[in-house]
Structure 1
Amino acid sequence: MSNDAPLQLKPRLAITVDQAQSIVRRMAPHASVLGITELHGGEISTVLEITLADAPACILKVYPASLQWKMAKEVYVLGLLRDLSTSIPKILLADDTRTAIDLNYVLMTRLDGAILGRREATLSEAELFAIYAEMGAALRRINDVALDSFGYIGPNGVWTAYPSNHAYMSAQFERKLTEFCTRGGDPALAARLRGSVAARQHLFEAAVTPRLCHYDFHAGNVLVTPEGEPHLTGIVDFENATSGDPLMDIAKALYYFTPKDAPKRDGLLAGYGTIAHPDWEQTLALYHMYCTLELWCWMAQIGKREMLADLTTKLASAA
C-alpha cells in the first residue's frame, strides 16, 4: 500500500475584495467589485463568482498547487471549441505570475443558466429525455473536433502521444492497474482485470481518429434555462479533456446512471445519433470498467478510502 499523503485539492481561499479588484481591473480597468461568492461543485479547483457594479459578473477559477498546469490546459481546450454552437466560457484573463494571489487562475465569462443537477428532481421523464438529447447532440459536436494523436491532454496539447487508441488504452489500463496495486488493491483482482482487458482489447481498434473528449460530461457541468421547459444554455469544466475514442466520453457520461435513469440514458444516446461501431455496447462496457478502475485510484489518491470497497465489488463484477 502506498504511504503517500492524499493529494491536496480545492484550495481554500479567502479572496479579498481588493484582490478581486486587482484581478478584474487587469481586463476591465474601471470595473468595480460588489461581491465574491464561492460556487459549489467539483473537487479540484475553487470557483468563485465575482459580481461587478457596472459590468456582467465573471468567474474566477483557481487551481490547486499540485495541479497548476491545469490552467494552461483549460485555456488550450476552450480554444479548440471557439466555434462550438453551444455556449462555453470565454477566457478573459489567464495568470500564472502568482502576483495577485499565490496560485494560477483564470478569469472567465459567466454563462447564463442553472446547473442541470439542481433542476433534475423537478423534471418529468419526457423533460429529462429532451434535455439529455440536447446534451447528446452537444457532446457529438465536441467529439467532432479531431486531434493529431491519442492521449491525455496537457497544457499545450496531447501530453504523451500514442499512434492508436489501442496503444493508448492498453497503456492506460496497465498504468491504472499498476497504481491499483500500489495503492492497496488486490493483486489477484488486478490479474483478473488484465485478463479481461486482453480478451476484449480488439474493441479498442475501431476508433481510428483521435477526437476531443470532455470526459466529465454530467449534470453538474451543464447549464440549462432556470425555469420552465429546460434547454441547454452552456457547458463548463473542460479540465479533464482527453484525445481519444468518443465512446470513452459517452461511457463516462453514462457512468453514474442507474436503471431509473433510463430517460436520461436514452435521451443522451438519441441526441448523440448513430454510433458507427458494430460492437459499441461491448466497448462501452469495457470503458465503464476503466472508469471504475480510474475512480478507485482517484479515491485512493485523495484519501477517500471509504469509497473503495464498493468500487472493488464493481471491479470484481466487471472482470
Structure 2
Amino acid sequence: MRNLTPDRGRQETWKVAPQRRTTSELDTETVQRLVQSLDRSLVASGFSPLEGGSTEVYRIDLVGSDRNPLVLKIYPDEPEWRPSKEILVAGWLKGLTPPVPKWLRVDESRTVLPLRFALLTLLPGRSLRHWMAEPGIDQAYRQMGELLRRIHSVPMPAYGYVLGHGIDKPRSTNADYMTAAFEDVFRRFRDLGGDADLGRHCSTWPKEASISWPKATVPYSATTTSIRAMCSRRMAASAAFS
C-alpha cells in the first residue's frame, strides 16, 4: 500500500485560486475510516486533492483493479442545507449525458471528521482549464453549450431558489420570480443604509421597462445582468459621493 499523503509534487504553469480550508490535514487512518464507513471491505491506497470547487474535494484510490476511485467532499458548517441540495439537484440531473456524480454516502455526524462529508463516484477527465491553449478548444465550448441546453430542458415544478428541501418560495412564472428577486435586492440595499430614493427608483425598473421575461425552464435572463449592472453603477456612484 503506497503512502497516503496528498500528491502535491507536480507543478502546473497556470495559476489557481487558493484552496479554501475547512478542516485539518487528512491522514492514513482517517482516510481508511472514511472509506470503510461506506463499505468495510474497502481499502484505500492513496488520496490527492482535486482542483476547483468551493470547498475541499479529494480523490481516494482503492486497492483492487475492480474498485473505482471515490471522491471525498468536505462541507463547512454553513450553509446547513448544502449537502441536501446537492443530492437533490444530482437526482434531477441523473438522466443527463455526460453523467453527473452519484452521492454514495453523506455523513453529518461529525464523528469521523470534524465537519460533514460526502463520498461520491468519480467522473473521469480533467478540468477544462488544462485545455485552454489547445487547438480546437471551440469544440469544447460548443459541447458546453449543448450540455447547458440539456440542463435548461429539465422540467421544474416552479421558479425559485433551490434549498435542501426543494424550491424555496416557489413562483408560478419566471416574471414573478425575477420581479421578487429584484425587489428583495433593492430592499436589502435600503436596509443596509443605501440611498432610499435610489433604491426605490431602481426597484421600479423591472416593472416599468416592459421587459418580456423569457419563459425558460430555468429562471435566468441576460436582461437581469444589464439591469443589475446599471443599478450597481448608480449605487456605486451614490456611495462615492456619500
Cα deviation for residue 170 of structure 1 reads 1.2
Q: Which residue of 2 aligns with 1:284?
A: 222
Structure 2 residue corresponding to 1:176, chosen from 175, 178, 185: 185
Seen in structure 2, the aligned counterparts of structure 1 residues 139 and 30 have a Cα distance that, compared at 3 Å, is: same
Deviates more, 1:106-115 or 1:170-179: 170-179
Q: Give the letter aligned to residue 76 of structure 2.
A: P
Tell me, yes or no, if structure 1 residue 101 matches structure 2 residue 113. yes
CA distances 1:20-68 after superposition (whole Å, capped 9, x unpaired) = 211211323222223332323233x221222223232211111111113
Tell me, yes or no, if structure 1 residue 81 matches structure 2 residue 96. no
Deviates more, 1:52-61 or 1:132-141: 52-61
Q: Which has the larger radius of gyration?
A: 2
Structure 2 residue corresponding to 1:41, chosen from 52, 74, 79: 52
Q: Is the contact between residue 47 and residue 60 of structure 2 (CA under 8 Å) also seen in structure 1?
A: yes
**1:201 & 1:103 partners in 2: Cα distance?**
48
Tell me, yes or no, if structure 1 residue 17 matches structure 2 residue 28. yes
Q: Which residue of 2 aligns with 1:71?
A: 83
Q: Aligned-pair RMSD on alpha carbons?
A: 2.8
Q: Which residue of 2 aligns with 1:156?
A: 165
**1:67 & 1:175 partners in 2: Cα distance?**
20
**2:35 & 2:69 partners in 1: Cα distance?**
10
CA distances 1:178-222 after superposition (whole Å, capped 9, x unpaired) = 333445655555344324323336422x41x6x3xxxxxxxxxxx
Q: Is the contact between residue 37 and residue 48 of structure 1 (CA under 8 Å) also seen in structure 2?
A: yes
- TM-score scaled by structure 1? 0.60
**2:187 & 2:92 partners in 1: Cα distance?**
33
Q: Which residue of 2 aligns with 1:91?
A: 103
Q: Give the letter aligned to residue 150 of structure 2.
A: R
**2:174 & 2:199 partners in 1: Cα distance?**
22
5+ long unaligned stretches in structure 2: 1-19, 238-242
Tell me, yes or no, if structure 1 residue 139 matches structure 2 residue 151. no
User: Which structure is richer in relative contact order (CA contacts within 8 A, separation 6 or more)?
Assistant: 1
CA distances 1:141-163 after superposition (whole Å, capped 9, x unpaired) = 11111111111111121122112
**1:154 & 1:160 partners in 2: Cα distance?**
10
Seen in structure 2, the aligned counterparts of structure 1 residues 185 and 48 have a Cα distance that, compared at 3 Å, is: farther
Q: Which residue of 2 aligns with 1:59?
A: 71
**1:50 & 1:186 partners in 2: Cα distance?**
52
Equivalences for 1:140-289 in 2 at 5 Å? 140-183=149-192, 187=196, 189-200=198-209, 202-204=211-213, 206-207=214-215, 211=217, 244-245=218-219, 248=220, 283-289=221-227
**1:28 & 1:135 partners in 2: Cα distance?**
35
**1:315 & 1:123 partners in 2: Cα distance?**
41
- TM-score scaled by structure 2? 0.76
Cα deviation for residue 286 of structure 1 reads 2.4
Q: Give the letter aligned to residue 89 of structure 1.
A: P
Identical positions, percent: 25
Seen in structure 2, the aligned counterparts of structure 1 residues 201 and 179 have a Cα distance that, compared at 3 Å, is: farther
